[in-house]
Amino acid sequence: MLKKVLIANRGEIAVRIIRACHELGLDTVAVYSDVDRTALHVRRATEAYPIGPAPASESYLRADKLIDVARRSGADGIHPGYGFLSERAEFAEAVADAGLTFIGPPPAAIRAMGDKVRSRQAMIAAGVPVVPGTEVGLTDDEAIRVAPDVGFPLLVKASAGGGGKGMRRVDGPAALPATLEAARREAQKAFGDDTVYLERLVEGARHIEIQVMADQHGNVLHLGERECSLQRRHQKVVEECPSPAMTPELRERMGAAAVAAARAVGYHSVGTVEFLVDRDGRFYFLEMNTRLQVEHPITEIVTGVDLVKQMLRIAANRPLRLRQEDIEWNGHAIECRINAEDPYNHFLPSTGLITHVIEPTGPGVRVDSAIYEGAEIGLFYDPLLAKLIVGGPTRADAILRMRRALEEYRIMGVKTTLPLHQKIMDTTQFIAGTYDTGYLEDTFRIQHEIRTDLDGVAAIAAALLAHQLRGEVINRLAPAGGPSEWKQLGRRLGLRLP
């Protein structure tokens, strides 16, 4: 039984975990660096302890300090959140060696899925489809020799990578030697490991992840998918649940593959299996995140399952109360990540004092945040300020609700990505659900006017449906002096238009 949980993290995720613990009657212990002394997670926890200077390497990444605080405070469990030490098998082992409960998967599963080459091998053995590529780290000469068999364009990927680091695109043989050198250099700097491999680039793909949940008694199930294709520099920007590209048959097949992946490594806890889905509906294993995901709230809204509470119950060795047939998907949810970055100036980080905050409220709106008036935003940590999450009975309702919530949201004192999300919600590609992983970087430009060309009747119908309650629908979507067929089409589709 857990009674007191130390949260080895900061920011919105620490606040999120603290709330779940308190609802379950568990005491909480916060930790903080020198610059986080007045942070919201410190105020919300039952008790809080300092762990060192601002740099994460001297505070939040110090396993010894975290375990020492857990012992001194009487905590019997440690929840790592996401980032920092959440996917470090050595940390999970150290927690267990200290006689504490690690609220996450077993170290062996973290280690198996933390190495991209090992995880590929495990998935192949489990019958899970993987993207065509090479196996364990090759020398540069070997990689150059087998690259034509993999096929161009391809990706050079760091074996220990994540977050897009150590990942480079190669369009032809001539660029491969220099790209291998650059990827190895970046991987060594980021992860202390310059092992790389080659993987075919699946162009026009969607990035869809499957949420899995497994207890320590052999029960494994999935909670459906999240659409994560709106990315910039391999970092997710907007997520949806369910995916606009999903069918019941594809969900069943991908869910079964994700469950097989979790079983293959003896997984228990909450985790996410990520896939690429090509234009023909073929899917390929990408990686497994052995932790809670940033975008977990949209799954919670659609399924009604509190994933953080499930993590706590699983860690306490309780069997899952749910079975696969109990999981239902109701409505639609969207999450926008609000970062302290300037979208009009190459997304440069923005720092300073938050002087004013007005969070959106109303039906179907959730804000996971740790910011407040007077909070200091620096450069030491991730730029994520808040997650704006909305839910509605349909995708069109969720889009309209997100647009309204974004208009209400006010964060003053630093630049944020709120304008970026407002633009995205207005684009034809997002409204129609026809975007892929390359859309934000290859097509979308926040500095330019939103494109008004539409891709077929289906896109037109989706755009009109999402905008039917707004009087300017025709003016926004039709070019100057546009044809009256727009309105006629909407009427044929049964939409109420102005």
Residues taking part in catalysis: 291
Tell me the CA distances in angstroms from 498 to 395, 464, 467, 474, one per residue in order.
21, 11, 11, 8
Q: Tokens 């899970």 label which residue?
A: 128
Q: How is residue 97 written in tokens?
A: 């060696």
Vertex 415 angle, CA 410 and 416, to 5° = 65
**Looking at the DSSP assignment, which residues form a beta bridge with residue 287?**
274
Rounded CA separation 214/284 (Å): 22
Rounded CA separation 460/466 (Å): 10
Backbone torsions φ then ψ of 207, nearest 5 degrees = -100, 110
Tell me how crowded residue 449 is: count the other CB atoms within 10 A of its CB: 7
Cα 483 versus chain centre, distance: 41
**Looking at the DSSP assignment, which residues form a beta bridge with residue 220?**
214
* CA torsion through residues 473, 474, 478, 481, sign: negative
Cis peptide bond N-terminal to 343, omega within 30: no
On whether the CB atoms of residues 7 and 81 are closer than 8 A, the answer is: yes
Tell me the CA distances in angstroms from 299 to 227, 288, 374, 380, 391, one per residue in order.
11, 17, 32, 30, 10
Q: How is residue 307 written in tokens?
A: 């994933």
Rounded CA separation 467/469 (Å): 6
On whether the CB atoms of residues 474 and 491 are closer than 8 A, the answer is: no
Rounded CA separation 310/151 (Å): 42
**Count of alpha carbons within 13 angstroms of residue 346, beta-carbon side:** 1
**Which residue type does 357 have?**
V
